[in-house]
Homo-oligomer: A and B are copies of this chain.
Amino acid sequence: MSSGRNDLEIGYDVPAAIGDAVEDIQTPALVIDLDAFERNVERMRCHIESMDVRLRAHAKTHKSADIALFQIAKGGACGVCCQKVSEAEALVRGGVRDILVSNQVTGPLKVERLARLAGRARIIVCVDDATNVAALSKAAQSVGSTIEVLVEIDCGARRCGVQPGVPAADLARCVAATPNLVFSGLQAYHGSAQHIVDPVERRAAIASAIEMTRDTVRLLAEHGLECAIVGGAGTGSFDMEGCSGVYNELQCGSYIFMDADYGRVRDDDGGMVGGFEHALFVLTSVMSKTAPTRAVCDAGLKALAVDSGLPLIFDRPGIAYAAANDEHGKIDDPGNRLAINDRLLLVPGHCDPTCNLHDWFVGVRNGKVETLWPVTARGKLY
């Protein structure tokens, strides 16, 4: 057993130390299989290269400056996306210099913070409201920075974004005419379509988004507005937008980890989408075994997000994660195979909110802890 780095203090604030054996990681812990992770990063780099588009990897998945910098250095990413100003601030502190906040930033102090941040790094933001455009401009003027702006269109998700076509063109002209803002293109992300399991249905949903986006790009060109960025797409559909001839920046995030929900999304060949593999796990231990067909593990709602379904147990047939309580997972163990302190790897149902529960990624290779990456922007919600 490792004596750990925390022995001299009251408390254990990191679930492992570099060099520890995997068996000594304190559970539950968020574990990356570094080999699988690096294969996923390389797979996406090859996909992107073959389609001749850019990758702007979505950092909302991992919230880690270390992973963002790895995606930029080794994975073909031109920069990253995130969703909140505080996330962008944390990533800039961590050394990332090209960030799209793929979301609206509207609160007065948030707008001011974003404008300041644009003096430190390339900052791009989405808009769907003319009053917000004026506020961004005023803040950027006051600190002397320039903010790049994408007009977000609602291409099927029915969430944020103006309607494609004329409303988008009107807002784009407004941006282009406003001081200290640069009109940089369109944000056209169809989030819900990413998770459609069947590739034919998924392609139909994305085809509709592509057509709306194509028409809007054409209309903008007629008004003399070129889109340096036409952004969108995710792990479920990136090949469709990437081959469309319309999109030029893909915003995939989950491909590095592949949660259980994305694991159900199929490619035409019936395999996991993009050829990616599970690389993120919650390592858990059995801590109670008082019934022959039931075990209880130490990873529940505070260690795993269950909004997209329960976790899968990796590589252990015959047992199943059956229910998540606050601090416990109930495991069906019909063959009475489990014992106290047995360890299991859980594939989380949804990786993004699962990562946001943990303070550390424990990167493992060959049975040893090789990296400890903080979840840099964990809890950066505002």
Interface residues of A (CB under 8 A from B): 1-2, 4, 10-13, 15, 24, 26-29, 60, 83-86, 89-90, 92-93, 103-110, 112-113, 116-117, 120, 128-129, 131-132, 154, 158-163, 191, 285-291, 294, 296, 298-299, 301-303, 305-307, 324-328, 330, 340-341, 350, 352-353, 356-359, 378-379, 381-382
Contacts and interface: CB of A to CB of B under 8 A. Distances in A.
B26 A159 contact: no
A357 B28 CA distance: 16
Nearest to A301: B353
B10 A107 contact: no
A27 B382 contact: yes
Nearest to A299: B381
Contact of A159 (B112, B163, B325): B325
Contact of A290 (B105, B160, B298): B160
A263 to B, nearest CB: 18
A121 to B, nearest CB: 9
A15 B89 CA distance: 14
A355 to B, nearest CB: 10
Given A154-B290, A159-B330, A359-B379, 16 more contacts: A1-B109, A11-B90, A12-B89, A26-B107, A27-B382, A103-B287, A106-B288, A106-B340, A108-B341, A129-B340, A132-B340, A159-B325, A162-B290, A301-B352, A302-B381, A358-B381
A106 B341 CA distance: 7
B382 A89 contact: no
B357 A27 contact: no
Contact of A357 (B93, B303, B356): B356
Count chain B CB atoms within 10 A of each CB in A60, A109, A382 and give the residue with the most: A382
Contact of A285 (B83, B92, B107): B107
Contact of A113 (B12, B60, B162): B12
Assembly of this chain: how many copies? Answer: 2
Count chain B CB atoms within 10 A of each CB in A103, A113, A159, A301 and give the residue with the most: A159
B302 A26 contact: no
B128 A159 contact: no
Given A11-B90, A129-B289, A160-B296, A107 B27 contact: yes
A95 to B, nearest CB: 11
11 contacts: A27-B107, A27-B382, A104-B296, A128-B288, A132-B340, A154-B290, A159-B330, A160-B296, A191-B325, A298-B382, A358-B379
A162 B290 CA distance: 6
A14 to B, nearest CB: 10
Contacts of A290: 128-129, 154, 160-163
Nearest to A89: B11
A24 B159 contact: no
A286 B128 CA distance: 13
A143 to B, nearest CB: 12
B288 A12 contact: no
A161 B289 CA distance: 9
Contacts of A160: 287-288, 290, 296, 328
